[in-house]
Amino acid sequence: MADVKALRCRECAAEYDPGALYACEFCFGPLECVYDYGQIADRIDRAAIERGPKSMWRYASLLPVDSPSHNLGTGYTPLVRAERLGAELGLARLYIKDDTRNPTNSFKDRVVSTAIAKAVELGFKTVACASTGNLANAVAAHAAKLGLESFVFVPSSIESAKITATAVYGGTVVTIDGNYDQVNRLCAEVAGTRPWAFMNVNLRPYYAEGSKTLAFETVEQLGWHPPDHCVVPIASGSLLTKIDKGLQELHKVWLLSEAPRTRISGAQADGCSPVYRAWKDGTDFVKPVKPDTIAHSLAIGDPADGLYAIDVVNRTGGAIGSSSDDEIVDAMQLLARTEGIFAETAGGVTIAALCKLVATGVIGRDETVVAYVTGHGLKTLDALHGRVAPLETSPTLDDFDSALERAGVVVEMPPDGPEPVTPYANESGRFAGGSSGRSSGRSD
Protein backbone atom coordinates (compact mmCIF):
# COMPACT_ATOMS: atom_id res chain seq x y z
CA MET A 1 0.00 0.00 0.00
CA ALA A 2 1.30 3.41 -0.94
CA ASP A 3 1.69 5.68 2.03
CA VAL A 4 -0.58 8.44 0.78
CA LYS A 5 -2.22 9.73 3.93
CA ALA A 6 -4.53 12.23 2.31
CA LEU A 7 -5.14 14.80 -0.36
CA ARG A 8 -4.43 18.25 1.04
CA CYS A 9 -5.54 21.64 -0.28
CA ARG A 10 -2.52 23.73 -1.26
CA GLU A 11 -4.33 26.90 -0.20
CA CYS A 12 -6.21 26.19 3.05
CA ALA A 13 -4.69 22.80 4.04
CA ALA A 14 -8.09 21.06 4.33
CA GLU A 15 -7.61 17.30 4.03
CA TYR A 16 -9.60 14.68 2.12
CA ASP A 17 -9.52 10.90 1.68
CA PRO A 18 -7.52 9.99 -1.40
CA GLY A 19 -10.13 9.46 -4.16
CA ALA A 20 -10.95 11.02 -7.54
CA LEU A 21 -10.93 14.56 -6.18
CA TYR A 22 -8.99 17.54 -7.36
CA ALA A 23 -10.39 20.77 -5.94
CA CYS A 24 -10.99 21.86 -2.35
CA GLU A 25 -14.66 22.03 -1.35
CA PHE A 26 -14.00 25.12 0.76
CA CYS A 27 -11.74 27.28 -1.37
CA PHE A 28 -11.43 25.50 -4.76
CA GLY A 29 -7.66 25.26 -4.24
CA PRO A 30 -5.80 22.38 -5.93
CA LEU A 31 -5.28 19.18 -3.93
CA GLU A 32 -1.94 17.47 -3.48
CA CYS A 33 -0.89 13.99 -2.28
CA VAL A 34 0.46 13.89 1.28
CA TYR A 35 2.65 10.94 2.32
CA ASP A 36 3.85 9.31 5.51
CA TYR A 37 7.56 9.84 4.85
CA GLY A 38 8.59 8.07 8.04
CA GLN A 39 7.02 4.82 6.87
CA ILE A 40 8.47 5.15 3.38
CA ALA A 41 11.93 5.81 4.84
CA ASP A 42 11.74 2.57 6.82
CA ARG A 43 11.15 0.62 3.63
CA ILE A 44 13.52 2.02 1.01
CA ASP A 45 17.22 2.52 0.57
CA ARG A 46 19.52 3.22 -2.36
CA ALA A 47 20.49 -0.42 -2.91
CA ALA A 48 16.87 -1.58 -3.13
CA ILE A 49 16.12 1.13 -5.68
CA GLU A 50 19.19 0.25 -7.74
CA ARG A 51 17.99 -3.37 -7.86
CA GLY A 52 14.53 -2.25 -8.99
CA PRO A 53 13.03 -2.31 -12.49
CA LYS A 54 14.74 -0.21 -15.16
CA SER A 55 11.70 2.06 -15.40
CA MET A 56 10.06 4.77 -13.32
CA TRP A 57 8.55 2.01 -11.15
CA ARG A 58 11.88 1.71 -9.33
CA TYR A 59 10.40 4.68 -7.42
CA ALA A 60 6.95 3.14 -6.85
CA SER A 61 7.24 3.67 -3.06
CA LEU A 62 7.27 7.42 -3.62
CA LEU A 63 4.26 7.38 -5.95
CA PRO A 64 0.57 7.40 -4.96
CA VAL A 65 -0.33 3.96 -6.32
CA ASP A 66 -0.72 0.60 -4.56
CA SER A 67 1.03 -1.41 -7.23
CA PRO A 68 1.91 -0.58 -10.80
CA SER A 69 -0.65 -2.37 -12.98
CA HIS A 70 1.29 -2.08 -16.21
CA ASN A 71 4.68 -1.32 -17.64
CA LEU A 72 5.16 0.15 -21.08
CA GLY A 73 8.76 0.86 -20.09
CA THR A 74 8.34 4.47 -19.03
CA GLY A 75 11.20 6.30 -17.39
CA TYR A 76 14.77 5.54 -16.35
CA THR A 77 15.74 7.51 -19.45
CA PRO A 78 19.39 8.42 -20.13
CA LEU A 79 21.05 11.34 -18.36
CA VAL A 80 23.50 12.31 -21.09
CA ARG A 81 26.71 14.18 -20.32
CA ALA A 82 26.49 16.98 -22.91
CA GLU A 83 30.17 17.74 -23.46
CA ARG A 84 29.91 19.29 -26.91
CA LEU A 85 26.92 21.51 -26.11
CA GLY A 86 28.52 22.37 -22.77
CA ALA A 87 31.71 23.44 -24.56
CA GLU A 88 29.73 25.73 -26.90
CA LEU A 89 28.00 27.37 -23.96
CA GLY A 90 31.04 27.43 -21.67
CA LEU A 91 29.53 25.05 -19.10
CA ALA A 92 31.83 22.59 -17.35
CA ARG A 93 29.17 20.04 -16.34
CA LEU A 94 26.04 20.04 -18.48
CA TYR A 95 23.65 17.08 -18.67
CA ILE A 96 20.57 16.45 -20.79
CA LYS A 97 17.81 14.32 -19.28
CA ASP A 98 16.64 12.73 -22.51
CA ASP A 99 12.94 12.06 -21.99
CA THR A 100 12.33 11.71 -25.72
CA ARG A 101 13.14 8.03 -25.00
CA ASN A 102 9.80 7.14 -23.46
CA PRO A 103 7.20 4.77 -24.99
CA THR A 104 5.31 7.61 -26.68
CA ASN A 105 8.37 9.86 -26.88
CA SER A 106 7.61 12.45 -24.24
CA PHE A 107 7.73 12.85 -20.47
CA LYS A 108 3.91 12.60 -20.40
CA ASP A 109 4.27 8.80 -20.17
CA ARG A 110 5.39 9.35 -16.56
CA VAL A 111 2.31 11.25 -15.45
CA VAL A 112 -0.04 8.95 -17.36
CA SER A 113 1.58 5.78 -15.98
CA THR A 114 0.87 7.11 -12.50
CA ALA A 115 -2.65 8.44 -13.06
CA ILE A 116 -3.84 5.45 -15.06
CA ALA A 117 -2.61 3.02 -12.38
CA LYS A 118 -4.70 5.03 -9.91
CA ALA A 119 -7.67 5.01 -12.30
CA VAL A 120 -7.54 1.21 -12.44
CA GLU A 121 -7.35 1.06 -8.62
CA LEU A 122 -10.39 3.30 -8.34
CA GLY A 123 -12.33 1.09 -10.77
CA PHE A 124 -12.58 3.40 -13.80
CA LYS A 125 -13.12 1.72 -17.18
CA THR A 126 -12.64 4.83 -19.32
CA VAL A 127 -9.76 7.29 -19.23
CA ALA A 128 -9.66 10.74 -20.76
CA CYS A 129 -7.65 13.96 -20.90
CA ALA A 130 -7.42 17.51 -22.18
CA SER A 131 -4.14 17.69 -24.05
CA THR A 132 -1.78 19.92 -25.99
CA GLY A 133 -0.68 16.77 -27.88
CA ASN A 134 1.80 14.67 -25.92
CA LEU A 135 -0.60 13.74 -23.16
CA ALA A 136 -3.02 12.50 -25.84
CA ASN A 137 -0.35 10.15 -27.22
CA ALA A 138 0.44 8.77 -23.78
CA VAL A 139 -3.18 8.31 -22.65
CA ALA A 140 -4.20 6.50 -25.84
CA ALA A 141 -1.19 4.14 -25.70
CA HIS A 142 -1.56 3.27 -22.02
CA ALA A 143 -5.33 2.76 -22.40
CA ALA A 144 -4.68 0.37 -25.29
CA LYS A 145 -2.19 -1.63 -23.22
CA LEU A 146 -4.62 -1.88 -20.30
CA GLY A 147 -7.72 -2.57 -22.42
CA LEU A 148 -9.45 0.62 -21.27
CA GLU A 149 -11.55 2.96 -23.38
CA SER A 150 -10.05 6.38 -24.02
CA PHE A 151 -11.29 9.81 -25.00
CA VAL A 152 -8.72 12.50 -25.65
CA PHE A 153 -9.56 16.14 -26.33
CA VAL A 154 -7.08 18.33 -28.21
CA PRO A 155 -7.09 21.69 -30.00
CA SER A 156 -7.41 21.07 -33.76
CA SER A 157 -4.39 23.36 -34.31
CA ILE A 158 -1.80 20.92 -32.84
CA GLU A 159 0.71 19.01 -34.98
CA SER A 160 -0.86 16.39 -37.26
CA ALA A 161 1.85 13.90 -36.17
CA LYS A 162 0.49 14.05 -32.61
CA ILE A 163 -3.10 13.49 -33.75
CA THR A 164 -2.13 10.47 -35.89
CA ALA A 165 0.13 9.08 -33.16
CA THR A 166 -2.88 9.19 -30.83
CA ALA A 167 -5.59 7.89 -33.15
CA VAL A 168 -3.50 4.84 -34.11
CA TYR A 169 -4.10 3.32 -30.65
CA GLY A 170 -7.80 3.02 -31.38
CA GLY A 171 -9.39 5.30 -28.77
CA THR A 172 -11.53 8.32 -29.59
CA VAL A 173 -9.71 11.52 -30.49
CA VAL A 174 -11.81 14.66 -30.25
CA THR A 175 -10.36 17.73 -32.00
CA ILE A 176 -11.76 21.06 -30.94
CA ASP A 177 -11.82 24.35 -32.77
CA GLY A 178 -10.40 26.27 -29.84
CA ASN A 179 -7.23 26.66 -27.77
CA TYR A 180 -6.09 24.40 -24.92
CA ASP A 181 -7.69 26.52 -22.24
CA GLN A 182 -11.07 26.15 -23.95
CA VAL A 183 -10.50 22.40 -24.36
CA ASN A 184 -9.66 22.17 -20.67
CA ARG A 185 -12.81 24.02 -19.63
CA LEU A 186 -14.92 21.69 -21.77
CA CYS A 187 -13.23 18.68 -20.15
CA ALA A 188 -14.00 19.97 -16.65
CA GLU A 189 -17.67 20.03 -17.70
CA VAL A 190 -17.53 16.59 -19.33
CA ALA A 191 -15.85 15.20 -16.19
CA GLY A 192 -18.92 16.30 -14.24
CA THR A 193 -21.29 14.39 -16.52
CA ARG A 194 -19.42 11.13 -17.30
CA PRO A 195 -17.79 8.47 -15.08
CA TRP A 196 -14.41 8.98 -16.70
CA ALA A 197 -10.94 9.27 -15.21
CA PHE A 198 -9.61 12.50 -16.65
CA MET A 199 -5.88 12.20 -16.08
CA ASN A 200 -5.31 15.92 -15.65
CA VAL A 201 -8.70 16.92 -14.26
CA ASN A 202 -10.24 14.65 -11.60
CA LEU A 203 -7.04 12.58 -11.23
CA ARG A 204 -4.69 15.56 -11.39
CA PRO A 205 -3.25 15.13 -7.87
CA TYR A 206 -1.99 11.64 -8.85
CA TYR A 207 -1.06 12.58 -12.42
CA ALA A 208 1.18 15.40 -11.22
CA GLU A 209 3.12 13.11 -8.86
CA GLY A 210 4.49 11.11 -11.82
CA SER A 211 6.73 14.05 -12.73
CA LYS A 212 8.73 13.61 -9.51
CA THR A 213 10.42 10.56 -11.04
CA LEU A 214 12.41 12.92 -13.28
CA ALA A 215 14.02 14.39 -10.16
CA PHE A 216 14.58 10.99 -8.51
CA GLU A 217 16.27 9.49 -11.57
CA THR A 218 18.45 12.56 -12.10
CA VAL A 219 19.87 12.38 -8.56
CA GLU A 220 20.46 8.63 -8.78
CA GLN A 221 22.14 8.99 -12.19
CA LEU A 222 24.45 11.67 -10.78
CA GLY A 223 25.63 9.12 -8.21
CA TRP A 224 23.12 10.24 -5.56
CA HIS A 225 24.12 13.89 -5.87
CA PRO A 226 21.51 16.58 -6.51
CA PRO A 227 22.33 18.88 -9.44
CA ASP A 228 23.15 22.54 -8.78
CA HIS A 229 20.71 23.83 -11.37
CA CYS A 230 17.78 22.44 -13.37
CA VAL A 231 16.21 24.03 -16.45
CA VAL A 232 12.60 22.94 -16.91
CA PRO A 233 9.97 23.76 -19.56
CA ILE A 234 6.72 25.27 -18.27
CA ALA A 235 3.22 24.59 -19.65
CA SER A 236 0.85 24.42 -16.64
CA GLY A 237 3.89 24.69 -14.35
CA SER A 238 3.24 21.30 -12.74
CA LEU A 239 6.43 19.58 -13.93
CA LEU A 240 8.63 22.36 -12.55
CA THR A 241 7.02 22.29 -9.11
CA LYS A 242 7.23 18.49 -8.96
CA ILE A 243 10.93 18.42 -9.77
CA ASP A 244 11.39 20.58 -6.69
CA LYS A 245 9.06 18.38 -4.62
CA GLY A 246 10.86 15.23 -5.79
CA LEU A 247 14.27 16.60 -4.84
CA GLN A 248 13.08 17.54 -1.34
CA GLU A 249 11.41 14.16 -0.83
CA LEU A 250 14.72 12.36 -1.36
CA HIS A 251 15.90 14.05 1.80
CA LYS A 252 12.61 13.44 3.66
CA VAL A 253 13.00 9.68 3.18
CA TRP A 254 16.76 9.85 3.87
CA LEU A 255 17.99 8.85 0.44
CA LEU A 256 19.93 12.14 0.69
CA SER A 257 21.38 13.19 4.03
CA GLU A 258 20.97 16.90 3.34
CA ALA A 259 18.14 18.85 1.75
CA PRO A 260 19.13 19.65 -1.86
CA ARG A 261 19.80 23.29 -2.66
CA THR A 262 19.17 22.89 -6.36
CA ARG A 263 18.26 26.10 -8.20
CA ILE A 264 15.32 25.61 -10.52
CA SER A 265 14.82 27.73 -13.63
CA GLY A 266 11.91 27.69 -16.06
CA ALA A 267 11.53 28.02 -19.83
CA GLN A 268 8.65 29.41 -21.90
CA ALA A 269 8.03 30.54 -25.48
CA ASP A 270 7.44 34.24 -26.20
CA GLY A 271 4.18 33.25 -27.91
CA CYS A 272 2.87 31.84 -24.62
CA SER A 273 4.77 33.21 -21.64
CA PRO A 274 2.26 34.09 -18.92
CA VAL A 275 4.45 32.60 -16.16
CA TYR A 276 7.60 34.35 -17.42
CA ARG A 277 5.77 37.69 -17.50
CA ALA A 278 4.30 37.35 -14.02
CA TRP A 279 7.73 36.33 -12.69
CA LYS A 280 9.49 39.24 -14.42
CA ASP A 281 6.89 41.81 -13.36
CA GLY A 282 6.69 40.41 -9.83
CA THR A 283 2.88 40.26 -9.88
CA ASP A 284 1.00 38.01 -7.47
CA PHE A 285 -1.28 36.70 -10.21
CA VAL A 286 -0.69 35.14 -13.63
CA LYS A 287 -2.50 37.04 -16.35
CA PRO A 288 -3.84 34.58 -18.97
CA VAL A 289 -2.72 35.00 -22.60
CA LYS A 290 -3.89 33.71 -26.00
CA PRO A 291 -1.13 31.31 -27.13
CA ASP A 292 0.54 31.79 -30.52
CA THR A 293 3.74 29.72 -30.76
CA ILE A 294 5.22 26.71 -32.54
CA ALA A 295 5.75 25.16 -29.10
CA HIS A 296 2.23 23.70 -29.06
CA SER A 297 2.91 21.28 -26.22
CA LEU A 298 3.64 24.24 -23.92
CA ALA A 299 0.79 26.42 -25.19
CA ILE A 300 -1.28 26.82 -22.02
CA GLY A 301 -2.44 30.43 -21.72
CA ASP A 302 -3.97 30.06 -18.24
CA PRO A 303 -1.52 27.81 -16.35
CA ALA A 304 -2.99 26.13 -13.25
CA ASP A 305 0.33 25.87 -11.40
CA GLY A 306 1.86 29.10 -12.67
CA LEU A 307 2.09 30.85 -9.30
CA TYR A 308 3.44 27.74 -7.56
CA ALA A 309 6.11 27.48 -10.27
CA ILE A 310 7.11 31.12 -9.68
CA ASP A 311 7.35 30.40 -5.93
CA VAL A 312 9.78 27.54 -6.60
CA VAL A 313 11.88 29.62 -9.00
CA ASN A 314 12.13 32.50 -6.53
CA ARG A 315 12.70 30.34 -3.46
CA THR A 316 15.50 28.33 -5.08
CA GLY A 317 17.24 31.27 -6.76
CA GLY A 318 16.40 30.34 -10.33
CA ALA A 319 15.03 32.46 -13.18
CA ILE A 320 12.76 32.05 -16.19
CA GLY A 321 13.85 32.41 -19.81
CA SER A 322 11.50 33.14 -22.69
CA SER A 323 12.39 32.76 -26.38
CA SER A 324 11.03 33.56 -29.83
CA ASP A 325 9.98 30.84 -32.27
CA ASP A 326 13.18 31.47 -34.29
CA GLU A 327 15.37 31.07 -31.22
CA ILE A 328 13.47 27.87 -30.36
CA VAL A 329 14.26 26.31 -33.74
CA ASP A 330 17.90 27.50 -33.54
CA ALA A 331 18.14 25.73 -30.19
CA MET A 332 16.59 22.52 -31.58
CA GLN A 333 19.28 22.55 -34.27
CA LEU A 334 22.03 23.38 -31.79
CA LEU A 335 21.10 20.42 -29.58
CA ALA A 336 20.84 18.05 -32.56
CA ARG A 337 24.14 19.26 -34.05
CA THR A 338 26.14 19.02 -30.82
CA GLU A 339 24.58 16.08 -28.98
CA GLY A 340 22.74 13.97 -31.55
CA ILE A 341 19.45 14.52 -29.71
CA PHE A 342 16.43 15.50 -31.78
CA ALA A 343 14.00 17.36 -29.53
CA GLU A 344 10.57 18.71 -30.27
CA THR A 345 9.86 22.45 -30.04
CA ALA A 346 9.46 22.21 -26.23
CA GLY A 347 13.06 20.93 -26.06
CA GLY A 348 14.06 23.93 -28.14
CA VAL A 349 12.35 26.16 -25.57
CA THR A 350 14.42 24.57 -22.79
CA ILE A 351 17.75 24.78 -24.63
CA ALA A 352 17.04 28.36 -25.76
CA ALA A 353 16.35 29.33 -22.13
CA LEU A 354 19.52 27.51 -21.06
CA CYS A 355 21.55 29.61 -23.54
CA LYS A 356 20.00 32.84 -22.24
CA LEU A 357 20.46 32.00 -18.58
CA VAL A 358 24.13 31.19 -19.19
CA ALA A 359 24.63 34.39 -21.22
CA THR A 360 23.06 36.54 -18.48
CA GLY A 361 25.11 34.87 -15.75
CA VAL A 362 22.12 33.31 -13.94
CA ILE A 363 23.61 29.86 -14.52
CA GLY A 364 27.19 29.64 -13.26
CA ARG A 365 29.79 28.03 -15.52
CA ASP A 366 30.89 25.61 -12.81
CA GLU A 367 27.42 24.49 -11.81
CA THR A 368 26.24 20.94 -12.50
CA VAL A 369 23.34 21.75 -14.79
CA VAL A 370 20.55 19.45 -15.97
CA ALA A 371 18.32 20.50 -18.87
CA TYR A 372 15.09 18.56 -19.27
CA VAL A 373 14.37 17.60 -22.89
CA THR A 374 10.81 16.39 -22.69
CA GLY A 375 9.61 15.46 -26.18
CA HIS A 376 10.88 14.03 -29.48
CA GLY A 377 11.56 16.04 -32.65
CA LEU A 378 9.68 13.68 -34.97
CA LYS A 379 6.51 15.01 -33.34
CA THR A 380 7.13 18.56 -34.59
CA LEU A 381 8.84 18.16 -37.97
CA ASP A 382 7.09 21.18 -39.47
CA ALA A 383 9.09 23.49 -37.21
CA LEU A 384 12.20 22.68 -39.29
CA HIS A 385 10.53 23.40 -42.62
CA GLY A 386 12.92 25.50 -44.74
CA ARG A 387 15.68 25.20 -42.09
CA VAL A 388 17.33 22.01 -43.29
CA ALA A 389 17.68 20.57 -46.80
CA PRO A 390 19.48 17.62 -48.38
CA LEU A 391 22.14 17.87 -51.11
CA GLU A 392 20.40 16.75 -54.31
CA THR A 393 22.15 14.90 -57.15
CA SER A 394 21.59 12.36 -59.88
CA PRO A 395 23.28 8.96 -59.31
CA THR A 396 26.59 9.71 -61.07
CA LEU A 397 29.93 10.53 -59.46
CA ASP A 398 30.37 13.62 -61.67
CA ASP A 399 27.02 15.04 -60.61
CA PHE A 400 27.76 14.24 -56.96
CA ASP A 401 31.12 16.07 -57.27
CA SER A 402 29.49 19.13 -58.79
CA ALA A 403 26.69 19.06 -56.20
CA LEU A 404 29.38 19.17 -53.49
CA GLU A 405 31.10 22.03 -55.29
CA ARG A 406 27.86 24.00 -55.68
CA ALA A 407 27.20 23.57 -51.97
CA GLY A 408 30.77 24.72 -51.20
CA VAL A 409 31.65 21.49 -49.37
CA VAL A 410 35.42 20.97 -49.23
CA VAL A 411 36.50 17.37 -48.56
CA GLU A 412 39.97 17.31 -46.99
CA MET A 413 42.37 14.41 -47.66
CA PRO A 414 44.98 14.58 -44.87
CA PRO A 415 48.21 12.72 -45.86
CA ASP A 416 48.16 10.49 -42.76
CA GLY A 417 44.38 9.87 -42.86
CA PRO A 418 42.62 6.79 -44.21
CA GLU A 419 42.87 6.14 -47.97
CA PRO A 420 39.74 6.06 -50.13
CA VAL A 421 38.57 2.48 -50.48
CA THR A 422 39.27 1.02 -53.95
CA PRO A 423 36.09 -0.30 -55.51
CA TYR A 424 35.98 -3.43 -57.65
CA ALA A 425 33.31 -4.97 -59.87
CA ASN A 426 31.61 -8.11 -58.58
CA GLU A 427 30.20 -10.84 -60.83
CA SER A 428 27.01 -9.00 -61.58
CA GLY A 429 29.07 -6.04 -62.79
CA ARG A 430 28.11 -3.81 -59.84
CA PHE A 431 30.65 -2.05 -57.71
CA ALA A 432 31.14 -3.15 -54.14
CA GLY A 433 33.37 -1.73 -51.41
CA GLY A 434 36.04 -3.59 -49.39
CA SER A 435 39.82 -2.99 -49.55
CA SER A 436 40.62 -6.56 -48.51
CA GLY A 437 39.28 -7.80 -51.82
CA ARG A 438 36.62 -9.79 -49.99
CA SER A 439 33.05 -9.01 -49.16
CA SER A 440 29.97 -10.93 -48.28
CA GLY A 441 28.71 -10.29 -51.80
CA ARG A 442 31.48 -12.44 -53.34
CA SER A 443 31.30 -16.18 -53.41
CA ASP A 444 34.90 -17.12 -54.43
Residues that bind ligand PLP (CB under 6 A): 106-108, 134, 233-239, 297-298, 344, 346, 374-375
Give the relative orientation of helices 212-221 and 238-252 as an angle to the nearest 10 degrees: 50
Of 14 and 404, which has the nearer Cβ to Zn ion? 14
Of 262 and 345, which has the nearer Cβ to ligand PLP? 345
Neighbour-count burial of 340, counting CB atoms closer than 10 A to its CB (0-12 exposed, 13-18 middle, 19+ buried): exposed
CB of 200 to Zn ion, least distance (A): 19
CB of 66 to ligand PLP, least distance (A): 24
Among Zn ion, ligand PLP, none, the one that 424 touches (CB under a kind-dependent 5 to 8 A) is none
109 Cβ partners below 8 Å, 6+ apart? 72, 74, 75, 102, 103, 138, 141, 142
C-alpha to C-alpha distance for 267 and 439, rounded to whole angstroms: 52
CB of 390 to Zn ion, least distance (A): 57
Report whether 85 contacts 54 (CB < 8 A).
no
C-alpha to C-alpha distance for 36 and 256, rounded to whole angstroms: 17
Q: In whole angstroms, how far apart are CA 347 and each of 139, 158, 160, 294, 323? A: 21, 16, 18, 12, 12
Site for Zn ion in 5-24 (CB under 5 A): 9, 11-12, 14, 24
CB of 239 to ligand PLP, least distance (A): 3
CB of 290 to Zn ion, least distance (A): 29
Of 134 and 218, which has the nearer Cβ to ligand PLP? 134
DSSP state of 236: S
AA letter at 293: T
CB of 420 to ligand PLP, least distance (A): 44
Among Zn ion, ligand PLP, none, the one that 113 touches (CB under a kind-dependent 5 to 8 A) is none
CB of 346 to ligand PLP, least distance (A): 4
Among ligand PLP, Zn ion, none, the one that 318 touches (CB under a kind-dependent 5 to 8 A) is none
Of 237 and 260, which has the nearer Cβ to ligand PLP? 237
Among ligand PLP, Zn ion, none, the one that 400 touches (CB under a kind-dependent 5 to 8 A) is none
Give the closest residue to 218 by CA, choosing from 242, 187, 199, 186.
242
The alpha carbon dihedral of 57, 60, 65, 68 has a sign of positive
C-alpha to C-alpha distance for 50 and 59, rounded to whole angstroms: 10
Among ligand PLP, Zn ion, none, the one that 134 touches (CB under a kind-dependent 5 to 8 A) is ligand PLP
CB of 105 to ligand PLP, least distance (A): 9
State the number of binding residues for Zn ion (CB under 5 A): 8
- Which of residues 5, 21, 23, 29 is near Zn ion by CB under 5 A? 29
Of 12 and 391, which has the nearer Cβ to Zn ion? 12
CB of 9 to Zn ion, least distance (A): 3
Of 235 and 370, which has the nearer Cβ to ligand PLP? 235
C-alpha to C-alpha distance for 268 and 276, rounded to whole angstroms: 7
Ramachandran bin of 235, using left for φ above 0, alpha for ψ from -120 to 50, beta for the remaining angles: alpha
CB of 362 to ligand PLP, least distance (A): 20
C-alpha to C-alpha distance for 50 and 81, rounded to whole angstroms: 20
Report whether 247 contacts 226 (CB < 8 A).
yes
Report whether 217 contacts 223 (CB < 8 A).
no
Report whether 31 contacts 7 (CB < 8 A).
yes
Among Zn ion, ligand PLP, none, the one that 97 touches (CB under a kind-dependent 5 to 8 A) is none
C-alpha to C-alpha distance for 416 and 402, rounded to whole angstroms: 26
Of 12 and 168, which has the nearer Cβ to Zn ion? 12
DSSP sequence for 330-366 = HHHHHHHHHH---B-HHHHHHHHHHHHHHHTTSS-TT
CB of 38 to ligand PLP, least distance (A): 29
Among Zn ion, ligand PLP, none, the one that 12 touches (CB under a kind-dependent 5 to 8 A) is Zn ion
Among ligand PLP, Zn ion, none, the one that 234 touches (CB under a kind-dependent 5 to 8 A) is ligand PLP
DSSP sequence for 387-441 = T--PPP--SSHHHHHHHHHHTT------TTSPPPPPPEE-TTS-EE--TTS--TT
Report whether 107 contacts 139 (CB < 8 A).
no
Of 158 and 253, which has the nearer Cβ to ligand PLP? 158
Among Zn ion, ligand PLP, none, the one that 11 touches (CB under a kind-dependent 5 to 8 A) is Zn ion
Among Zn ion, ligand PLP, none, the one that 27 touches (CB under a kind-dependent 5 to 8 A) is Zn ion
Among Zn ion, ligand PLP, none, the one that 238 touches (CB under a kind-dependent 5 to 8 A) is ligand PLP
- Which of residues 15, 27, 189, 261 is near Zn ion by CB under 5 A? 27
- Which of residues 15, 19, 26, 287 is near Zn ion by CB under 5 A? 26
Sequence length of the chain is 444
Note the residues at the interface with Zn ion (CB under 5 A): 9, 11-12, 14, 24, 26-27, 29
